[in-house]
Structure 1
């Protein structure tokens, strides 16, 4: 079982590395999702963002460490201000909040 966790962490680390390479570097934050696992939120140096989901917090933390990802305790302040959002995110958020289209 430990081998499966190591392989999953290695795969996530490769995905983190690819994101960082494509966006001039990256930093992240781990968000617990309950039984669904842990979300790895990535923010690129260019302001683009993405996320990955790990099956557990331990696997997410191992992947982040393996990738050399700088982690933030929370998604707020200066870290959150780096995120660049576009029309898709704004209409999706407005649709969810106002009962309109959710773009997905």
Structure 2
């Protein structure tokens, strides 16, 4: 039984490693497209962990990893700066356009739902 558990554990570890590598590749593509990037990693509950990326040009995006450990591994593999919280100078780098403002205004003042 112990051997079976070790095989299962090693398969899970290999799967997690592949997932982190795929995320790191996606992060790398974002970095290339936006002249560099920084990130913030946040646990979002049962759904996993969110990696928020902010490019040097103000562009932003996010990815979701199944676990915090995989997200942390992905940003380490990508070699980008990781912030503990989405605040201050890091958050100020985000550039939003009319679409985002319209959506946020709709949410705040009873506009159309986001469904």
Moved over 6 A (4+): none
- The residue that corresponds to 2:81 in the other structure is 70
How far apart are 1:22 and its partner, in Å?
0.3
How far apart are 1:80 and its partner, in Å?
0.5
Change beyond 3 A, Cα 1:27–1:72 = same
| RMSD between aligned residues | 1.1
5+ residue gaps in structure 2?
1-11
CA distance in 1, matches of 2:51, 2:109: 27
Change beyond 3 A, Cα 1:36–1:24 = same
Structure 1 position 49 matched with structure 2 position 60: yes
Q: Which TM-score applies when normalising by structure 1?
A: 0.96
CA distance in 1, matches of 2:83, 2:68: 15
CA distance in 1, matches of 2:43, 2:28: 21
Q: Which TM-score applies when normalising by structure 2?
A: 0.87
Structure 1 position 28 matched with structure 2 position 39: yes
Q: Is the 8 A contact 1:37 1:57 kept in 2?
A: yes
CA distance in 2, matches of 1:53, 1:2: 18
Instruction: Decide which structure has the larger Cα Rg and report it.
Output: 2
